[in-house]
Amino acid sequence: MQLRFKPHTLELHYAFGVASNTRTSTPAMLVEVEHDGLIGYGEASMPPYLGESQASAAAFLQQVDLGRFPDPLRLDEILPALDALAPGNTAAKAAVDIALHDWVGKRRGAPWHRLWGLDPARTPVTSFTLGIDTPPVMQQKAREASAYPILKIKLGRDNDRELIAAIREVTDKPLYIDANQGWKNREDALRMCEWLAPRGVVLIEQPMSKEQDVDTAWLRERSPLPLIADESVQRLADVSRAVGVFDGINIKLMKCTGLHEAHRMIGRARELGLKVMLGCMTETSCAISAAAQLSPLVDWADLDGALLIKNDPFVGVTIVDGRLTLSDRPGIGVVKR
Ligand code: MG
């Protein structure tokens, strides 16, 4: 089996602001695996604040020797070996994981949602994310998002109430809030949750720092809104840490090394009584369509990454009236544009 990769910089429609930074592009790496006349596609998306880069991904991928595995269908053997090659590199690992899943699904002639035995009619509505901006620009973005029934709003700077009030002037859609660890103390965070609850907010993602489990557990006891872990839970081994601290977890392929581990994280979360959201970075339709294969299993989806970029090389999962709509294309369900 051959592995190829090439850098691709994702150009964003809008500068994307979160609590800690703003950016206009996202570095990515496109990966292909080829064997027996079939090509599997994968992708690493690497927002700089997470520590990976096109250079680190290339260095990792150069170490990957898929030829040493005799059976490419044995993902349960290949993917743990890949994970053990080096610590970190979760997005680069996800790129190979996604490409191998795509190849295996194509070889077996079915999309992964069917290989997992999932009902494609059970996909959730995805939220559409508005990055932090000035109130008039946020209003404009909210108007332009008319096709999406749920909006996700990034908060965590010093004018959260002003932004929500501005958005509420132009839409009454349900809102997911992502504070990206931006709220600094639990009393202020509780006041925000209580202020947001009657304003049509459904959930709060990562209100406080991942170092503040005790404060977050305190907040969860009192918050009228469910709290979802993002930065606090990255991999399978972290899932149990959310019990008693959060109500659910946000799983992203780029932080958990791909579909193989994401599928197991969903199972673990359910055993522990946690809700599950599937999230993403700014990504092409490649990684988004891969994640969407799992979406019939989750409570909430935030799989809008491909909608935020101008140069998507793939066609994959579509969004119809906000709902993720899976196709019968095999593998992760993408074709090149
Ligand atoms: Mg988040």
Per-residue pLDDT, 131: 86
* Of the residues 76, 109, 142, the one at which a domain ends: 109
Q: How many residues does the chain have?
A: 337
**Pair (191, 309) in one structural domain:** yes
Per-residue pLDDT, 32: 98
**Pair (169, 264) in one structural domain:** yes
Lowest mean pLDDT, pick from 19-33, 51-65, 195-209, 270-284: 19-33
| Tens-digit pLDDT profile for residues 73-114 | 999 999 999 999 999 999 999 999 999 999 999 999 999 999
Q: Give residue 228 CA to ligand 1 midpoint distance, Å.
A: 9
Q: Give residue 5 CA to ligand 1 midpoint distance, Å.
A: 27
Q: Give residue 37 CA to ligand 1 midpoint distance, Å.
A: 38
pTM (two decimals) = 0.96
Q: Domain tally for the chain? A: 2
**Pair (93, 31) in one structural domain:** yes
Q: Give residue 205 CA to ligand 1 midpoint distance, Å.
A: 6
Q: Give residue 305 CA to ligand 1 midpoint distance, Å.
A: 12
Whole-angstrom CA distances from 242 to 233, 246, 249 are: 7, 5, 7
pLDDT classification of 16: cutoffs 50, 70, 90: confident
| Tens-digit pLDDT profile for residues 234-263 | 999 999 999 999 999 999 999 999 999 999
CA 56 to CA 37: how far, in whole Å?
A: 29
CA 57 to CA 280: how far, in whole Å?
A: 18
- One-letter amino acid of 305: G
Domain with 52 in it: 2-109
Say which residue, 297 or 131, is predicted with more confidence. 297
Whole-angstrom CA distances from 326 to 41, 252, 291, 315, 333 are: 17, 18, 11, 12, 8
**Pair (83, 138) in one structural domain:** no
Lowest mean pLDDT, pick from 130-134, 196-200, 310-314: 130-134
Q: Which residues of 180-189 are buried (b: 16+ CB within 10 A; e: fewer)?
A: bbbbeebeeb
What are the tokens at 216?
């977050």
* Of the residues 109, 137, 172, the one at which a domain ends: 109
Q: Give residue 180 CA to ligand 1 midpoint distance, Å.
A: 6
Q: Give residue 45 CA to ligand 1 midpoint distance, Å.
A: 15
